[in-house]
Structure 1
Amino acid sequence: MKSTYRFALAAGLVVASGVVSVLAAPDLPEQMATHWNAAGVPDDTMSKPVALALIPILTAVLLGMFAVIPRIDPLGENIAKFRPIYDWFVVGFTAFMAVVHGGIVAFNLGYEFDFVLLLLAAVAILFYLVGVLLDHVERNWFVGIRTPWTMSSPEVWEQTNALGATLFKLTAAVALVGLLFEEYTIYFLIVPVLVTASITVVYSYYLYERLEEDPSDV
């Protein structure tokens, strides 16, 4: 399947979100719940036109950015090496946004469910997809774990992103387990994410310094 078709699939998900907005609009309140606290209680609203348009438009803009990145990256030839995985991540991200939008619409139509749990489950799956992407990513300026040290060394890039791939997948697993502990679910996501971010930055610096001291060690 060519890249054009994969992006067409992602665009179809954006269009589907727009169609959901149009079809649901007559039955929705003028002020829609669009934000929930950690307890799953709505605590902020938006006007119906803004709430229905925001995510589809934002997703369309991001999809356009994803399409442009391989063309403008000075290391675009490296993105070409993992382009199918990149494209499928874009499809997965677009599906994530569609799920969030559909959840907001469904909640405001009166369907009873815990929106926060839905959101956290969707984020966990998205993080797993990030892990899959990092498993294949080649050095570039837009996609992957980019620190001064990964961008300065192909070896540091490869090993740091390999570690990041494992940690993001573990983060997804921990977050899904956290769904069983409703009161503390959010912490099962936030804490692993912060730990993953910290570890990958420190690890990339450590590897780079070790490479500088003795290139044969890395």
Structure 2
Amino acid sequence: MKPFTAADTAAAIVSLLILTGAAWIAIYGPETPIPVHFNAAGQADRYGSRYEVAATLAGLALLNVLAAWMTGRQAESVVDPVRRKGLRRGQWLSIGIIGAVAAFIAWASLGPAAASGASHPGVAMAFTAFILLITGAVLGRVTPNPFIGVKTPWAYKSRLAWDRSNRLAGRLMFWLGAVGLIASPFIPQPAGLISLIVGVLIAAAWSVFESWRVWRADPDRQPF
């Protein structure tokens, strides 16, 4: 039986907090329609019920438990301590990202935007940049897993391709996040948020290409 680790405890606590918030929203949330989606300018373009928000949060709680459990189980099954440590980093990273996304969804739907129908797009840019910054700081040290990282077929067939493509993605995301976080209070919106998203897409495409390039040159690669 897999031992219960600190990361498992953190996943359980975060999921319990998310579920508690979902239950509170379902019971005590506004009975009137609340914003559930915003466009790039920060204007609410779709409204839903409190039950929709609660169901979304409950789904995130379930995803958090599933991702943490599967990654933790994979970590315990490997003999290599370096790879096990990398999987644990991925486990902690998934917990942090899902918890942050759940908190942001609750804030966006029930915070100031619930009354005004608009959310300052700079907030969305700052949140996205913060997630990129944290993800980038850890991503390059995460070992192969099914949830976090540049998960291309070539990266799974070559450990060198996994390491290099994820290190590249980590560096790109870190600096995108750092610049975006600093610029979010000043840059005109929604141009700033759109630019950040375009930067992420370019970083993703570059990292995918890097995984193929390294796999192709790796003499120890596994064939398809």
Q: Of the candidates 125, 128, 131, which is equivalent to residue 133 of structure 2?
A: 128
Counterpart in 2 of 1:86?
Answer: 90
Cα 1:109/1:156, change in 2 over 3 Å: closer
Secondary structure of 1:142's match?
coil
CA distance in 2, matches of 1:127, 1:2: 24
* 1:84 to partner: Cα distance: 4.1
**1:1-218 alignment runs, 5 A limit:** 2-18=6-22, 21=25, 24-25=28-29, 28-51=30-53, 53-70=54-71, 73=74, 76-77=77-78, 80-93=84-97, 94-110=99-115, 114-179=119-184, 180-183=186-189, 184-212=191-219
Q: Distance in 2 between matches of 1:16 and 1:174?
A: 35
| d(CA) in 1 for partners of 2:45, 2:211 | 40
Indicate the larger mover: 87-96 or 69-78: 69-78
Q: Distance in 1 between matches of 2:33 and 2:175?
A: 38
- Report the Cα distance in structure 1 between the residues aligned to 2:52 and 2:145, rounded to whole angstroms: 35
TM-fit CA distance, 1:196: 0.5
Check whether the contact 1:89–1:130 (CA below 8 A) recurs between aligned residues. Answer: yes
Amino acid corresponding to residue 91 of structure 1 in structure 2: I
Q: Structure 1 residue 70: deviation in Å? A: 2.3
* Identity percentage of aligned residues: 22
CA distance in 2, matches of 1:75, 1:203: 29
CA distance in 2, matches of 1:24, 1:107: 17
- Calculate the aligned-residue CA RMSD, in Å: 2.9
SS in 1 for 2:156: coil
**Aligned partners of 1:134 and 1:165 also within 8 Å:** yes
The alignment partner of 2:157 has SS state of: coil
More off after superposition, 157-166 vs 134-143:
134-143
TM-score w.r.t. structure 2 length?
Answer: 0.79
State the one-letter code of the partner of 2:188. Answer: E
Task: Assess if the C-alpha contact under 8 Å between 1:6 and 1:87 holds in 2.
Answer: no
Question: How many residues of Structure 1 are paired with residues of Structure 2 in the alignment?
Answer: 211
Deviation at 1:203, TM superposition (A): 1.3
> Structure 1 CA distance, aligned partners of 2:28 and 2:126?
24
TM-score (norm 1): 0.81
Once the two structures are overlaid, the 10-residue window that deviates more, 64-73 or 161-170, is 64-73
After superposing on structure 2, the runs of 4+ consecutive aligned residues of structure 1 that deviate more than 4 Å are: 71-76
- Which ranges in structure 1 are unaligned for 5 or more consecutive residues? none
Deviation at 1:12, TM superposition (A): 3.9
Query: Cα deviations across residues 15-73 of structure 1 (Å, max 9, x unaligned)?
Result: 45226525752xx252112122222221211123223x133212112112213322665
